Amino acid sequence: GAKIALITINPQSTIGKMADVVVEISAPSPKSAKEGQIKSIQPMGSLFEQSEGLFMDIAILKLMEIKNMTSETMFGRHANME
């Protein structure tokens, strides 16, 4: 079967327990912050979404380095939906 990789704020979720690889991003929203944890003033899950985007950019840059790819190569493979 397929492997499951998960980026989440809650590794103890149902899918978190099934995942083969879990990346936990500690970015609590005002609703999800636990006792003693710093609460973000950003609405909803904005802090998580921003942190996830940054994590994915770093992962892509690392993969580009490993595979010896340039930005030009990446743009050539990028779908243009405009």
Question: CA 70 to CA 26: how far, in whole Å?
Answer: 31
Question: What SS3 state is found at 15?
Answer: helix
Catalytic residue of the set 49, 52, 72, 82? 49
Is residue 52 annotated as a catalytic residue, yes or no? no
Which tokens go with 16? 């978190």
Amino acid letter, residue 59:
A
Q: Which residues are designated catalytic? A: 49
